[in-house]
Structure 1
Amino acid sequence: MGVLLLAWAGFALAAGPASVRKQVEASMLVNGEIEVDAAGKVTRYEIDRREKLPEGVRKFVEDSIAGWQFAPTLLEGRPVAIRNRMGLLLVAKPIEGGDFRVELRGTSFYPISEAGYGLEVVHMDPPRYPQNAAQARVSGIVYLVLRIGPDGKVAEAVAEQVNLRVVAGEMQMKLWRGVLAKSATTRALLWSFRPPQNGELADDGSWSLRVPVAYSLQGDGDSYGRWIAYIPGPRQRAPWAEGDDVSPDTLADGGLYPVGGTGGLRLLSRAGG
């Protein structure tokens, strides 16, 4: 089914234009590890900081994973067992009667690389919080797509999506998305990475990464295991990553996620089970 209904008396939608309030969603990102056998069946999984999740959410996630079936992963033409990092995006939207409908909106799976087999950070200072955004109490998350050149420097950076945690008019939100996107992309062009030294990626002339960059105000605290209200922004695809269909908001802030690489699990069943 992939759907959970909650009575959520403690959640209040932010004030703002009615047309914008209708777009408000609340999300919870759940991370972990998963192991799959050569036939594509789940043999083991572990949810990060499981104790942080509400009991109903834990059961919902576990029931969903129990119904998953993956395409076999091939190594030199033979199916093999594989271990991946995983991200699950839960989204809640209000329905009639004051309840909320929760669904598993998306998933992502990424291989766990050994040292030297993937891009490694050399220099990656976080962007400064734009002063005007901080003064206006604007927070959100920018999902970057980077193209890394053979020298390890960022050749191009695109803000694929910007989700805001503030409700305002459409034009104001477009402005704030632009402010956060410019801050993140400008800083990202100064980052550098060590190219892969081993494996099939070492022969590539360039590499692509997704990097979520969170802009959180002081006092926001750790968001893991909590519902976070936000306004999802439009998606702009990077020209060099057109064929990649990963939902960026299934990715946790602070991670580096290869774009279009090999070794990632491919879910055959529906994400919600």
Structure 2
Amino acid sequence: MSKLMENGGPMQGLAARVAQAAEGVDFAPSDSTLDGAQKLFDSYFLVQRAAGSPVDMLRAAMAQALPVCVADIETGADLSEEQRATLARGLHRLADWALIPTAIPEHIQPKIDADPLFRWKQQHQLFFLIIHGMLYLLHVLEEALDREHAPVTQAILTDFADLMEASTVAFCLAGDFSPEAYETRIRPDMTAHDPHFSGLFYADHKELVTSLRVLKQVPDDFEEELERISNAISETYDVHARVCLRFVGDTASLASKDDSRVAAESIRGKYVKRTKVIAGLAKPRG
């Protein structure tokens, strides 16, 4: 792992590693079952859905998105070295699951200009990639639990915690620009796309929250790993709430039908509680 983090910094090493998986199989478009709002959400963030092997698609998505995400970070991102390492660690774990070789070849970093709207969309794609990784890990966790394979279960839970912690950094990164940029560029752009635009329209996050029920089947032997996951869930929702407060203050989201409902309060209140109840992490186990 340490060698993977050495090539010019943790994120640059990651970009070089995943870039080698750029040439892969072609994927057929999937038969979408999304509703209209979910399709609008996908189109705004340039999400393309396909059918194929989950591992193959993870590999291709990482090769396509991550080098550009890293190039955007290099234009100037307010991330600490610890945050960069946390993000890189989770994504290296995902690259392992995607069977991307650990050797780091020569890599020419793409050059892009700093732009808040580009960052908003590109780094949301990073968050979406992490969500797909967590969905895949929950699937293999369910299989490991069926086989009562404790070492594999522990490894999956540890990697899932790494990815959940990385998602917290991805949230910070996607909103790493000024409130003025949000007010003058981001929010008008979303409103033009859909006057009621909302993250609630993201279908895969909804699936992830539902899939977290698998964690209820995890034996109490893995209390330490489950505690890490629980803490990371809390931190992710808290970071999301802080981003909302920074940009829109004590106001409702674009999709809210109740102007008195504060978006950040909903995130810190009912949404995190709902997620922890589904995951069986709402109160101490045992």
Greater fraction of residues in strand: 1
Q: Which has the higher contact order (CA 8 A, sep 6+)?
A: 1
TM-score of the superposed pair, with normalisation by structure 2: 0.25
Greater fraction of residues in helix: 2
TM-score of the superposed pair, with normalisation by structure 1: 0.26
